[in-house]
Amino acid sequence: MLQSVADGKLPVENAAKTLTNISSEDIDYAHIDHHRSLRKGFPEVIFGLGKSSDQIIGIMEKMVPQEDIVLVTRVDPQKAEQVLLNFPAAVYDPEAKMLIIKQKEIPKQGKGTILVLSAGTSDIPVAKEAFVTAEIMGNTVHSVFDVGVAGLHFFADVLAGIGKNFPQLGLLLACQR
């Protein structure tokens, strides 16, 4: 930005305005932490539940210019449809109920493989949310949905297969309860 000002491509006033909101930005209904990715290695995630589509769009408008990844969780299909009209580059995952904008490819940076298990089919949405989040954060992720914990023998079979296929595995169990 400083080089753009020096080259006369960016007016000083515009640069000063950009610097005002470089670390955080208050947009009345949300306080956006633009430096979270610098501090934590991943940008702030927008929790869509309870927000209107206009609020989600407003937050995304401020995040997209500054972040390579924008992740919105707990978004119902109607809100997603409205958001996608404003952000055609976004992808909606209906199972995970998530909107994702990837402005560049995410390098793998995890130290192994994460396996997301869900107990039953009713747990799939939250398991899928965990799966997508871990993947977007640069991890290698696999999933086994509906492992059938009502019968311990089903779960034992799943664990035996997991141990054989994924000897060094971080385990993330996802359930709604």
pLDDT in tens, 42-92: 788 899 999 999 999 999 999 898 888 899 999 999 999 999 999 999 999
The candidate with the shortest Cα–Cα distance to 19, out of 3, 1, 33, 38, is 1
158/149 Cα distance (integer angstroms) = 10
pLDDT in tens, 87-123: 999 999 999 999 999 988 888 887 888 888 887 888 8
Q: Is the pLDDT of residue 36 over 80?
A: no
Those residues whose C-beta lies under 8 Å from the C-beta of residue 2, and which sit 6 or more positions away, are 15
Would you give the DSSP letter of residue 122?
Answer: G
Those residues whose C-beta lies under 8 Å from the C-beta of residue 46, and which sit 6 or more positions away, are 56, 59, 60, 63, 70, 71, 72, 73
pLDDT in tens, 128-176: 999 999 999 899 998 888 776 666 566 666 666 666 665 555 554 444 5
